[in-house]
Structure 1
Amino acid sequence: MPAATPASAEQPSLEEKAVPHPYVGMWVTADGQIRQELLANGRYDEARGTRQSAYQGRYAVRGTHIDYWDDTGFTADGTFVGDDELHHGGMIFFRRR
């Protein structure tokens, strides 16, 4: 009987599963207090006020819908409205170019 392969060896990493999409980059509320960076590797990093990396986790985009899984277990979602506007958690984010 062959030796068992660890589950982590059988599953691709986040980087291997990441599919490029047009929404990668920095998204900011109009007042600049909340800044959310969607990284190309399927991770996000959110800053609030002066608190850098207040929330971090992974995300997935399907069409114009985004799902978030915070590293602490919190989940959320949002919708991209056009190329430069994101509605998430009752807030509106704009792409920072």
Structure 2
Amino acid sequence: MVTDYRTEQPTRDDIDATTGPLVLAFGTEWCGYCLAADRYVSAALADHPDVPVIGVEDGPGRPLGRSFRVKLWPTLIFLRDGTEVDRVVRPGNRAPLDEALAAITAAA
């Protein structure tokens, strides 16, 4: 898996203060939907090695996921300069991931 879902999370203020492109990937390592989507997520992210990815283990009581209103896993939030540009929930193919990555990596 490309995404390492970590229990330690940045704060929403940390995320809002980031510059440039960033992908937040919410899920868990045992989630069947996350495992099924990983082939698309891994391939899309491999084409953008300079885009930072933060894998966030989500669940009850996890404030970062709640601040982004994450309800299903995996949810990928695509940000540029701390602002959400796009999100992809439970991707079934690579196209929406490629589109979202293009949106956050396009010249400002």
| Smaller-chain TM-score bracket | 0.3 to 0.5
Q: Which has the larger radius of gyration?
A: 1
Larger relative contact order, structure 1 or 2 (CA cutoff 8 Å, min sep 6): 2
TM-score, length-normalised on structure 1? 0.33
Larger strand percent: 1
